[in-house]
Structure 1
Amino acid sequence: MQAKATELKRVMESAALAAGRAIMAVHNTGPDVHFKPDSSPVTQADEEAESVILEALARYFPDIPVVAEEAVAAGRVPDISGGLFFLVDPLDGTKEFVAGRNEFTVNIALIESDAPIAGIVYAPALASGFIAVDGRAERFTVADGHTLANRQDIGCRGRGKALTAVASRSHDTPETARFLDDHGVEACTAIGSSLKFCLVAEGLADVYPRFSRTMEWDTAAGDAVLRAAGGQTRTLDGASLAYGKRNQLHDTDFANPNFIASGADWRKAGGS
């Protein structure tokens, strides 16, 4: 098991860094943007990064299917009935990427029995990232786009007197504002991409409420980091956010319901 975890970690790291280099090459020259049928933006960086990741995963884990954002958009969806599969978002935060902000990430996650058991979130423009493998969550930095350094174990913080939240920069909603008011949140940081999960995972925030649309590839890697750091991601009915959702009655395949990501004890000390 340890050998498998070590290989998984190595492959996810190398694939994420290679995808990050492809993204930054486009970032530095300026992306050409076009739009998918759902009106979400996509660039050549998304497509090139996904190709890099898919090639790496196919080479080292040929028997594990991969659900990847751009492949799904093109109608290529593998059989995941075995319960073990990868979820890939090659460029999470495309709106931030196009706008020239640095809060975009490469996301790779491994799902088993509906739960994210490993994942990497890499922010190439920030030269830093987060990884979770074998129940351990780490933060790392990257030198020159190639070398990981300064690994540090991370974990969610305990609930203090003041509750701090993170929220989406590009998808703010009235429901989010109401949640913050109802739960006495004293400070809220708006940030793009799956980095919101990671801020909770490393103890810089208590809760990330999401009341607008996400897809499983948007959340799985950050959710894996959060869970390994001692946190949780639950739907509004209290169930753990599940992955591999197909044939949903009221939404498309792989679409998430609203959820609350948090440190495990964020409701204590007066929370409701």
Structure 2
Amino acid sequence: MIITQELLSQTDALARQAGAAIMEIYGRDFAVEQKQDNSPLTEADAAAHHIIVNGLKALPLTAPILSEEDTAGFAGADEQGRYWLVDPLDGTKEFIKRNGEFTVNIALIEHGKPVLGVVYAPALGVGYMAAQGLGAFKYEGDKVPVAIAVVAHQEGQPWRVVGSRSHGGGELPSLLDKLGEHELVAMGSSLKLCLVAEGAADVYPRLGPTSLWDTGAAQCVVEQAGGTVVQLNGEPLCYANTQEVLNPYFLVLGRNDVNWPGLFG
């Protein structure tokens, strides 16, 4: 399937609309509930969900929608193996802390692979978007999006490692010891993957729980920027099995120049 620039722009516009609704709630008092899995939920999650779902249904490309806020309403991919994958508010904990590091994530999946992805951080006024055949881009505010690309780690320089703001992972210190000299930067939500995509970090090891909707959009940005997102067995992170929404542990690489089997062996 050929993704058009128009479809990418329409998807980005939906993310911005959802972001505006999130920021209206962000600027006032809001209640916090707990889901069955003990993760937090706010009215911003629900508001963004409705905007995105209604907007996707109005697009020329129609496909089933898997949203974090309505997993029960998803019956599976269509006959072409396509579906929309949505996290209306990724980084709800960061939203509650009011540190700005939360995003709207929208991805189009085809045969288990993200072929379009939009990541928008409304509090920061920063967005990333990418699509198969079109490349990866970053924009700030109303500025024209600019192409981004990963960079290779410079030999002799410390590894620039990005990690979770709220979920460190008990195995991370051991991995960092194996990696050698490094600088660790903490970041929330799917922005961690985007830092690798734009060349601001070399590697992002995720040794803790994530779900499909946490990573799909940003994985597309990474891959279209020339990077890779691999499981610890070396296989790409895949979105074909929607019956299992939890991702395996994974590694985001600016360039596939890390001896990751040695790191995990």
TM-score between the two structures when normalised by the length of structure 1: 0.90
Partner residue in 2 for 1:89: 87
Give the residue type in structure 1 aligned to 2:231: T
Partner residue in 1 for 2:148: 154
Partner residue in 2 for 1:26: 25
Q: Distance in 2 between matches of 1:174 and 1:266?
A: 24
Aligned ranges for residues 58-97 of structure 1 at < 5 Å? 58-61=57-60, 63-72=62-71, 75-80=72-77, 82=79, 83-97=81-95
Q: Give 1:204 shift.
A: 0.7
Q: Deviations over 1:48-94 (max 9, x none)?
A: 0010000110001463111000011xx22232153111100000000
Partner residue in 2 for 1:15: 14
- Unmatched 5+ residue regions in structure 2? none
Instruction: Pick closer, same or farther for the CA change 1:81–1:63 going to 2, 3 Å.
Output: closer
Q: Which runs of 4+ in 1 moved over 2 A?
A: none
Partner residue in 1 for 2:257: 266
Q: Distance in 2 between matches of 1:185 and 1:55?
A: 48
Q: Deviations over 1:239-263 (max 9, x none)?
A: 000003234xxxxx21100000111
> Per the alignment, in what secondary structure is the counterpart of residue 27 of structure 2?
helix
Partner residue in 2 for 1:56: 55
Q: Distance in 2 between matches of 1:160 and 1:67?
A: 39
Give the residue type in structure 2 aligned to 1:117: V
Moved more, 57-66 or 159-168: 57-66
Instruction: Pick closer, same or farther for the CA change 1:246–1:133 going to 2, 3 Å.
Output: closer
CA contact (8 A) 1:207 1:266 kept: no
Aligned ranges for residues 125-164 of structure 1 at < 5 Å? 125-135=123-133, 136-142=135-141, 148-161=142-155, 162-164=158-160
TM-score between the two structures when normalised by the length of structure 2: 0.92
Instruction: Pick closer, same or farther for the CA change 1:27–1:39 going to 2, 3 Å.
Output: same
Partner residue in 2 for 1:250: none
The answer to whether structure 1 residue 239 and structure 2 residue 235 are counterparts is yes
Give the length in aligned residue pairs: 257
The equivalent position to 1:182 in structure 2, one of 178, 184, 189, is: 178
Q: Distance in 1 between matches of 2:159 and 2:172?
A: 14
Give the residue type in structure 2 aligned to 1:23: I
CA contact (8 A) 2:207 2:249 kept: yes
> Per the alignment, in what secondary structure is the counterpart of residue 213 of structure 1?
coil
Give the residue type in structure 1 aligned to 2:177: D
Q: Deviations over 1:149-183 (max 9, x none)?
A: 23111000012122111010100122111111111
